[in-house]
């Protein structure tokens, strides 16, 4: 197992931290809105699929009215 010099490790960590970029407020807002839209679309999709499957099962088992 290779040993790492603590000073070299700290230098590498600092170098990696300098590469980190944070999103702007606009990017964060747009991404958040897109997430809400996708969650809403997924919820609607699964609601429709659930209703169709429920109707199909009731039809097959003769429980439907």
Compute the distance between CA of residue 64 and CA of residue 54 in angstroms, rounded to an integer: 10
Residue 49 is part of which domain span?
22-65
Compute the distance between CA of residue 58 and CA of residue 55 in angstroms, rounded to an integer: 5
How many domains does the structure of the chain reveal?
1
Residue 15 covered by a domain = no
Q: Which of 40, 17, 20 is nearest to 32 (CA)?
A: 40
List all residues 6 or more positions away from 63 whose beta carbon is below 8 Å from its beta carbon: 57
Residue 8 covered by a domain = no
Q: Tell me what pLDDT residue 62 has.
A: 85
* Model pLDDT for residues 14-63, shown as the tens digit of each residue: 999 999 999 999 999 999 999 999 999 999 999 999 999 999 998 888 87
Name the pTM for this structure: 0.65
Angle at 23 between CA 22 and CA 27, to 5 degrees: 175
Confidence of residue 64 (pLDDT cuts 50, 70, 90): low
pLDDT value at 7 more than 60: yes
Confidence of residue 65 (pLDDT cuts 50, 70, 90): low
């Amino acid at each position: 197992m290779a040993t790492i010099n603590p000073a070299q490790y700290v230098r590498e960590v600092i170098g990696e931290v300098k590469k980190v970029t944070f999103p702007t407020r606009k990017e964060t807002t747009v991404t958040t809105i897109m997430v809400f839209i996708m969650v809403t679309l997924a919820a609607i999709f699964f609601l429709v699929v659930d209703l169709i499957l429920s109707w199909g099962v009731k039809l097959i088992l003769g429980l439907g009215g």
